[in-house]
Amino acid sequence: MLCRGAKLDRVKRWVLNSNRDLRENHVESHEIGGQNSSSERRVFYLCRKFKGKLFSNRDFLFEGFDGSLEKKDGGEYHCVCRSLKDERLHSRKKSNAAGRVRATVQYEGWLLRDLGNAGTQGCFVQNIDPGSALKGAFLK
């Protein structure tokens, strides 16, 4: 992906979504606890609308880590996420009561590279287990 004319800081703000703005198909999104500045670790809760009347919305409890790499030819920025299994932060029981199914983020990551005046180059990878009966359908 190439964001023409977009500076690294602008794309980084969009990737981080620090204000937890609701985006397309998002039902609920918020940060749990504060940011730990020593490790750049943040914990998030997100509920996404799942298309179709037969499917429940999926929610995610995940932690994200981010940082920068300085290189001779420009800076790079990375952000990686994975699911948490911590019932104290947001329990599955609470999700079930809201009619949601807990999905698992096996891994998710962004690598952004500053191209100067040309913009920002980005690479995104993601592996999600949607949970429920859909797990088998997506693995086939």
Q: What is the pLDDT of residues 21-53, one digit of tens each?
A: 899 899 999 888 765 555 578 899 999 998 877
The model's pTM: 0.76
| Beta-bridge partner residues of 112 | 77, 122
d(CA 125, CA 139): 17
How, if at all, do strands 119-129 and 100-102 pair? unpaired
How, if at all, do strands 57-71 and 100-102 pair? parallel
Query: How much is the average pLDDT of 86-92?
Result: 90
Which CATH number fits the domain 2-139, given the four candidates 3.30.110.30, 3.40.50.720, 3.30.530.20, 3.40.50.2000? 3.30.530.20
Domain boundaries, the chain: 2-139
